[in-house]
Chains A and B, each alone.
Chain A
Amino acid sequence: MISVKKLVKRFGLKTVLRGLDFEVQEGEFVALLGPNGAGKTTFLRILASLSRPTLGEVSVAGYRLPAQAAAVRRNLGVVSHLPLLYGDLTAEENLRFYGRIYGVLELGQRIEEVLELVGLTSRRRDLVRTFSRGMQQRLAIGRAILHNPDVLLFDEPHTGLDQDACDMLDRLLREVAGQGRTVVMTSHDLARVEDLASRFDVLSRGVIYSSVSRTGLGKNNLLDFYRQALAG
């Protein structure tokens, strides 16, 4: 589903990603871990077609980036730590707007489904400005799956959420991922991620240092694996 070969990303003279390789099969849930400044967000932005690779090959959902970016976008849902929602519009209006620019068919019905899935049907006519951060994040996930993408990218979605909100978010993530979608999620919260993902990759200093599947990890602690990966 996602294939990255020797990806290099430079900002002017600064090299952030140095020949990164990354493969994700359909249906996998990959947690991308790594210290701050390792390049996780940069990498995710490239996968999201928001940033162009300097060198290397990237393909998502069977389409190459950046050449076939539009096709990639049709199959992509993105949730970042910024809400990407318009505060002065209601929840329903936000979904309607994104539905229209994504060309979602039978939009009315789809909005109903999504609102119910994220548990915001009762708040549909409220301005997003009045939502708590947790609710905004849930609506953001709704926005991301509105057009039924096969690939989902999450950039630190738990940021700024309290325990209850995080639990609710995790339930939603499981449900959404469980529909056979391919998910890549960056996170700092190892405990949460341990229960969600099927694979754990560590990105450090511009490349993937280490990768282990949930089964491979077995009874070992994710934290230990992570520390070991960075030390190596």
Chain B
Amino acid sequence: MKPQPIALKVLNIVSVLLFLAALGMVFLYAPLEATMNYVQKIFYFHIANAWVGMLGFIAAAVAGVIYLIKHDQKWDIVELAAVEISLVFFLIAIVAGSIWARPSWGAYWTWEPRLTTAAILEMIYIAYLLLRQGIDDPDRRARFSAVYTLVGAISVPITFISIRFFRTIHPVVIGTNSAASQGSFDMTSKMLATMFFALFTFSVIFVNLFWHRIRLGQLAQQVEQLKLEELQ
């Protein structure tokens, strides 16, 4: 079994350090928001997790298309890794968002565009995993997964736009000054800095986890190969 490459080991450490630094920034550097106090601080993690979810989503879609073009099993592993990461991080983002929503909007959940689309996306991810579970042949599994990823990737933005035809109460975070969208708040420059640092940190964490997961997939494949060789 190949040991972790040096770059990955370094990345592990860097990720942890960045995360600690981000925590520090969120609690010590970023100012307390006027109305919501500490609850608002979860916002940084909410956004960062959603951001990683997005990265995973795009990575999965791209990997799916590349697989269909090249038929290289490697891209199937990448696609699965991206879907799993995206699923988990969006879930965390939704939960974090709920924790924030309760004091701000008075409810854990609302049926507004971003939340609803995120929920639908989670359902698509689960469907994806169930699809994979029902197929034994690796080539067929990879092909079908890639096709479904493509269908999902195209449908989700359309879904988001469709729901947008309804009104939203999701805070428009960057820039608007109006108190008209209930629950929105102004971001001072310190808050902005913290947010961008959180985004950066989580991007690094994403790459780290992604790498680990792909590695895991490749190792699993090697195990399968060894098993087959033993039997034959």
Contact = CB atoms under 8 A, between A and B. Distances in A.
A13 B225 contact: yes
A13 B73 CA distance: 10
A218 interface: no
Contacts of A13: 138, 221, 224-225, 228
Nearest to A12: B138
A11 B137 contact: yes
Say which size band chain A's interface belongs to: under 10
B139 interface: yes
Interface in B117-166: 137-139
Instruction: State the majority secondary structure of interface residues on B.
Output: helix
A113 B224 CA distance: 53
A219 interface: no
Interface string A13-31: 1110000000000000000
Nearest to A14: B228
Contacts of B73: 12
Nearest to B224: A13
A2 to B, nearest CB: 25
Among A11, A12, A14: residue with most chain B CB under 10 A: A12
A203 to B, nearest CB: 16
B223 to A, nearest CB: 10
Contacts of B137: 11-12
B221 A11 contact: no
Nearest to B231: A14
A15 B228 CA distance: 9
A176 B22 CA distance: 78
Interface in B185-232: 221, 224-225, 228, 232
Nearest to A205: B232
Contacts of A11: 137-139
Contacts of A14: 228
A93 B228 CA distance: 46
Contacts of B138: 11-13
A12 B55 CA distance: 29
A60 B12 CA distance: 55
A12 B138 CA distance: 5
Nearest to B222: A13
Contacts of A12: 73, 137-139, 224
A64 to B, nearest CB: 19
Nearest to A13: B225
B206 to A, nearest CB: 29
A12 B232 CA distance: 15
A155 B75 CA distance: 35
A13 B137 CA distance: 10
Contacts of B139: 11-12
Contacts of A15: 232
B8 to A, nearest CB: 25
Interface in A1-48: 11-15
A4 B28 CA distance: 72
Contacts of B228: 13-14
A163 to B, nearest CB: 37
B90 to A, nearest CB: 30
Interface in B41-76: 73
11 contacts: A11-B137, A11-B138, A12-B73, A12-B137, A12-B138, A12-B139, A12-B224, A13-B138, A13-B224, A14-B228, A15-B232
Interface of A: 11-15
Given A12-B73, A13-B138, 10 more contacts: A11-B138, A11-B139, A12-B137, A12-B138, A12-B139, A12-B224, A13-B221, A13-B225, A13-B228, A14-B228
By Cβ-Cβ distance, the 5 closest A-B pairs, closest first, are: A12-B138, A13-B225, A13-B228, A13-B224, A14-B228
